[in-house]
């Protein structure tokens, strides 16, 4: 058959989609720190600093079918083609093996090379690809490089959001100083300010990409045909900018990424015909798209009213990306709005792993449910529902529990839910007598003393969250931690700002719908129903505040968390050390010399019999959360609150996890022997043991 485009054996492009339309609100974190866990096995090691310092606590190708329409001839409709193909082959099959590329909303389906296939890497400048990763990060594990690059993008993004908000605020203040608009217009300087305020600044996500390009931090800097190491079937991207940061897709807006005619003579490209599509994004923006996860009907690019109602407003042409994708099964037909659009049928390659979400949940069907970032579920419909709300109404959202593992299914038991940390009478929490003088939100204040304590900027930036009809959230603005610190100083009792001030982010309760579910090998776990953005607060780790000496020797309590800001920041064996931590450590030392005298944590949080949803969050060697110590109404870091934040964009139904931070062989039993616990996190870099 004729394949205009593909010469010999076609290689498979990647196809991808991102979960939400529009550009995202990101954040980032470099490395997940080590929280502080105590094993209930014995209290033997609790007073051994060397044990504590360990890991122990704390913490298609478009290619494919050669069904191509002869130039100038109207192609038959897809289904007709399909039928023809099926008849041709004498079996019920929709497309040939070759015709298989695909994605489900928000997922990447790196197309798996056949055995013996070599990945073709093509540099725009010379043969051979270039993958440097997040600003020169040289991890050998491609998956870790992908994670680090995404986190680097988020950090950059949040910094630029913060910078933009500062700029806008200073212009606003300047304008406020003008008495009347009339006077502003007469006054050149102020008019200049007004103009500046009106000038849209470059988008923070694009600024972040520019910076990453400049720093050589884009992971795959040159276009490639085929699978990109480190990306996996089921990966979801919140924005195309993330994909550009990785180098999966080269444009932040266009749907089809392709290699143009200039690649014809490049080394390694001899067997291809160009232009050749290498990656597509299915974002939900085209109303003519159909997404069945294993098979999608993809609308070509162009003619969409991006800035208006996002409907098709003009006919598409068979140029650029559309031409590059014209190598599979495609046709031209009238779309929903009556304009001619190009449609391409793309199918998953046989043998690809199933979608991650369908592996973890019985909720998913073959339909892609998460195009807008949330699971459209009601609690009463949940399969395996054993409890409608483990929080008994204490949280902003109900937290259901499901159990599809035990027979008969049983709910979580043996604890009392408490949204707040319980303070026993014999532990006195100091209260600071000072606070900031800001009115309303501290982010709009020029001289916030709480910002100063955090090193001049507030630790959080407020970003808008897309409203979701599913979660009924009234919380459209989300405070996100720009980067992890040894300690975050929030506004507290004596601050004059409003309770919705962004610098009270951890005091505002749950912002995402969570579910406690029974896992096959780790007991209960927690997963999200909403897309969680990097830097967003998940929840506090609550329980009963105790002296560490009290819990020594407590057997069978797997829910004790040592409060140790230093170790959380330093990480374990340097593994989880966060970017800039030396700086934070230095400032922490200078401010808290007295408390630092002893490195032994004095207090811990015992969630054994009283606690919140955090007590169900499991350990992972490749976690998506990290621990952050937070101080608000007092300054004693030994009594800091322990908060869990998102390290990455976490798609719906993904299990939440953090690194418990045990060091191997650091836990001993009552008999003095080392106790081991197997890890079932399933990460590619799993250490196989929690301790």
Ligand X SMILES: C[S@@+](CC[C@H](N)C(=O)[O-])C[C@H]1O[C@@H](n2cnc3c(N)ncnc32)[C@H](O)[C@@H]1O
Q: Which is nearer to ligand X, 331 or 516 (CB)?
A: 516
For residue 681, the minimal CB distance to ligand X (Å) is: 4
For residue 618, the minimal CB distance to ligand X (Å) is: 3
With beta carbons less than 8 A apart as the criterion, state whether 356 and 234 touch: yes
For residue 230, the minimal CB distance to ligand X (Å) is: 22
Q: Name the E strands within 58-184.
A: 108-109, 120-121
In DSSP terms, 15 is beta-bridged to 109, 280
For residue 676, the minimal CB distance to ligand X (Å) is: 11
Count of residues of this chain found to bind ligand X when the rule CB under 6 A is applied: 14
Member of 216, 260, 424, 523 binding ligand X (CB under 6 A): 523
Member of 344, 460, 524, 626 binding ligand X (CB under 6 A): 524
Q: Which is nearer to ligand X, 486 or 613 (CB)?
A: 613
For residue 680, the minimal CB distance to ligand X (Å) is: 4
45 touching ligand X, by CB under 6 A:
no
Q: At what angle do helices 204-214 and 142-177 cross, to 10 degrees?
A: 130
Two tokens, residue 248? 């999966």
Letter string b/e over residues 532-550, b meaning 16 or more CB atoms within 10 A of that residue's CB: bbbbbbbbbbbbbbbebee
With contacts defined by CB under 6 A, name the span among 131-139, 190-198, 577-585, 674-682 that binds ligand X: 674-682
Q: Which is nearer to ligand X, 449 or 519 (CB)?
A: 519
522 touching ligand X, by CB under 6 A:
yes
539 touching ligand X, by CB under 6 A:
no
- 348 Cβ neighbours under 8 A, 6+ residues apart: 100, 101, 102, 109, 293, 294, 295
298 touching ligand X, by CB under 6 A:
no
With contacts defined by CB under 6 A, name the span among 373-381, 500-508, 519-527, 668-676 that binds ligand X: 519-527
- 593 Cβ neighbours under 8 A, 6+ residues apart: none
With contacts defined by CB under 6 A, name the span among 58-66, 271-279, 533-541, 679-687 that binds ligand X: 679-687
Nearest to 518 by CA among 690, 386, 681, 651: 386
Name the region of 524 (left: φ>0; alpha: ψ -120 to 50; beta: rest).
beta
Binding positions for ligand X, 124-143, rule CB under 6 A: none
Find the residue with minimal CB distance to ligand X. Answer: 523
**Residue 506: what are its φ and ψ, rounded to 5°?**
-80, -5
Q: Which is nearer to ligand X, 488 or 667 (CB)?
A: 667
Q: In what order do the strands lie in the sheet with 290-291?
A: 290-291, 295-299, 340-347, 329-334
Q: How far is CA 464 from the centre of its chain?
A: 16
With contacts defined by CB under 6 A, name the span among 47-55, 77-85, 241-249, 518-526 that binds ligand X: 518-526
For residue 59, the minimal CB distance to ligand X (Å) is: 12
**Residue 206: what are its φ and ψ, rounded to 5°?**
-75, -35
CA distance 29 to 32: 7
681 touching ligand X, by CB under 6 A:
yes
387 touching ligand X, by CB under 6 A:
no
For residue 24, the minimal CB distance to ligand X (Å) is: 29
Binding positions for ligand X, 154-193, rule CB under 6 A: none
658 touching ligand X, by CB under 6 A:
no
Q: How far is CA 5 from the centre of its chain?
A: 36
680 touching ligand X, by CB under 6 A:
yes
CA distance 436 to 61: 58
With contacts defined by CB under 6 A, name the span among 216-224, 451-459, 522-530, 569-577 that binds ligand X: 522-530
With beta carbons less than 8 A apart as the criterion, state whether 624 and 648 touch: yes
Residue 22 burial (C-beta neighbours within 10 Å; 0-12, 13-18, 19+): middle
Binding letters toward ligand X, positions 476-515, x by CB under 6 A: ----------------------------------------
81 touching ligand X, by CB under 6 A:
no
Nearest to 435 by CA among 489, 500, 487, 484: 489
460 touching ligand X, by CB under 6 A:
no
Alpha helices in 505-646 (DSSP H): 548-551, 565-570, 581-591, 593-596
Binding positions for ligand X, 620-639, rule CB under 6 A: 620
CA distance 625 to 619: 10
Q: Which is nearer to ligand X, 522 or 663 (CB)?
A: 522
Sign of the C-alpha dihedral, residues 521, 671, 36, 411? positive
Q: Which is nearer to ligand X, 3 or 526 (CB)?
A: 526
Q: Which is nearer to ligand X, 219 or 667 (CB)?
A: 667
With contacts defined by CB under 6 A, name the span among 353-361, 491-499, 520-528, 668-676 that binds ligand X: 520-528
Q: Which is nearer to ligand X, 248 or 656 (CB)?
A: 656
619 touching ligand X, by CB under 6 A:
yes
Member of 52, 224, 615, 663 binding ligand X (CB under 6 A): 615
679 touching ligand X, by CB under 6 A:
yes
Provide the Cα torsion 146, 152, 155, 160; round to 10°.
-120
Binding letters toward ligand X, positions 554-583, x by CB under 6 A: ----xx------------------------
CA distance 579 to 643: 19
For residue 422, the minimal CB distance to ligand X (Å) is: 17
With beta carbons less than 8 A apart as the criterion, state whether 99 and 347 touch: yes
For residue 526, the minimal CB distance to ligand X (Å) is: 8
14 touching ligand X, by CB under 6 A:
no
Binding positions for ligand X, 350-369, rule CB under 6 A: none
Q: Which helix (H) or strand (E) holds 332?
A: strand 329-334
616 touching ligand X, by CB under 6 A:
yes
State the residues that interact with ligand X by CB under 6 A. Answer: 522-524, 558-559, 615-616, 618-620, 679-681, 690
């Amino acid at each position: 058959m004729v394949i205009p485009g593909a010469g010999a054996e076609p290689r498979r492009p990647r196809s991808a989609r991102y979960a939400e339309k529009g550009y995202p609100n990101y954040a980032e974190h470099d490395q997940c720190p080590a929280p502080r866990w105590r094993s209930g096995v014995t209290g033997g090691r609790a007073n051994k600093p060397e044990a504590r310092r360990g890991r122990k606590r704390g913490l298609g190708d478009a290619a494919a079918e050669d069904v191509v329409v002869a130039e100038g001839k109207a192609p038959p409709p897809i289904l007709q083609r399909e039928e023809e193909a099926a008849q041709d082959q004498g079996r019920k099959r929709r497309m040939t093996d070759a015709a298989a590329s695909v994605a489900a909303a928000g997922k990447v389906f790196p197309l798996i090379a056949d055995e013996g296939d070599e990945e073709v890497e093509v540099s725009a400048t010379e043969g051979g690809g270039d993958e440097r990763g997040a600003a020169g990060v040289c991890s050998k594990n491609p998956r870790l490089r992908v994670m680090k690059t995404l986190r680097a993008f988020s950090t950059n993004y949040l910094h630029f959001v913060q910078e933009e908000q500062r700029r806008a605020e200073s212009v606003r203040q300047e304008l406020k100083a003008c008495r009347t608009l009339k006077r502003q217009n007469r006054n050149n300087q102020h008019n200049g300010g007004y103009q500046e305020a009106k000038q849209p600044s470059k988008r923070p996500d694009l600024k972040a990409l520019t910076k990453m390009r400049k720093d050589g931090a884009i992971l795959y800097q040159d276009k490639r045909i085929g699978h990109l190491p480190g990306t996996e079937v089921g990966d979801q991207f919140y924005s195309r900018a993330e994909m550009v940061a990785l180098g999966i897709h080269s444009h932040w807006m266009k749907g089809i990424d392709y290699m143009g005619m200039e690649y014809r003579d490049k080394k390694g490209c001899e067997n291809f015909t160009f232009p050749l599509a290498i990656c597509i994004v299915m974002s939900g923006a085209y109303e003519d798209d159909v997404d069945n996860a294993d098979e999608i009907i993809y609308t070509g690019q162009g003619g969409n009213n991006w800035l208006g109602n996002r409907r098709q407003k003009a006919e598409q042409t068979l140029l650029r990306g559309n031409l590059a994708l014209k190598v599979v099964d495609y046709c031209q037909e009238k779309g929903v709005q009556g304009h001619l659009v190009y449609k391409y049928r793309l199918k998953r390659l046989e043998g690809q792993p199933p979608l991650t979400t369908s592996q973890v949940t019985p909720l998913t069907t073959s339909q892609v449910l998460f195009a807008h970032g949330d699971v459209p579920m009601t609690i009463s419909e949940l399969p395996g529902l054993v409890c409608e709300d483990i929080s008994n109404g204490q949280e902003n959202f109900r937290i259901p529990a499901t159990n599809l593992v035990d027979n008969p299914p049983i709910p979580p038991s043996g604890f009392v839910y408490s949204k707040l940390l319980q303070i026993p009478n014999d532990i006195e929490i100091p209260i600071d007598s000072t606070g900031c003088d800001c009115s309303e939100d501290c982010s709009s204040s020029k001289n916030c003393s709480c910002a100063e304590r955090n090193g001049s900027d507030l630790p959080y930036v407020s970003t808008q969250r897309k409203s979701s009809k599913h979660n009924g959230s009234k919380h459209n603005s989300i405070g996100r931690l720009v980067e992890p610190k040894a300690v975050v100083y929030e506004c507290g009792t004596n601050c004059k700002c409003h309770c919705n001030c962004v610098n009270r982010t951890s005091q505002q309760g749950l912002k995402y719908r969570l579910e406690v579910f029974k896992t096959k090998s780790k007991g209960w776990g927690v997963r999200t129903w909403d897309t969680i953005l990097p830097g967003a607060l998940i929840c506090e780790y609550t329980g009963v505040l105790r002296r560490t000496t009290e819990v020594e020797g407590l057997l069978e309590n797997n829910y004790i968390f040592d409060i140790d800001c230093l170790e959380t920041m330093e990480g374990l064996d340097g593994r989880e050390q966060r970017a800039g931590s030396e700086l934070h450590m230095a400032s922490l030392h200078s401010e808290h010399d007295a408390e630092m005298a002893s490195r032994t944590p004095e207090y811990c949080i015992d969630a054994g019999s009283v606690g919140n949803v955090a007590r169900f969050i499991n350990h992972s060697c490749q976690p998506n959360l990290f621990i952050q110590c937070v101080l608000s109404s007092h300054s004693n870091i030994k009594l800091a609150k322990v908060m869990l934040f998102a390290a990455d964009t976490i798609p719906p139904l993904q299990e939440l996890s953090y690194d418990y931070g045990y060091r191997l062989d650091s836990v001993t039993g009552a008999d003095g022997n080392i106790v081991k616990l197997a890890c079932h996190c399933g990460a590619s870099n799993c250490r196989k043991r929690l301790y």
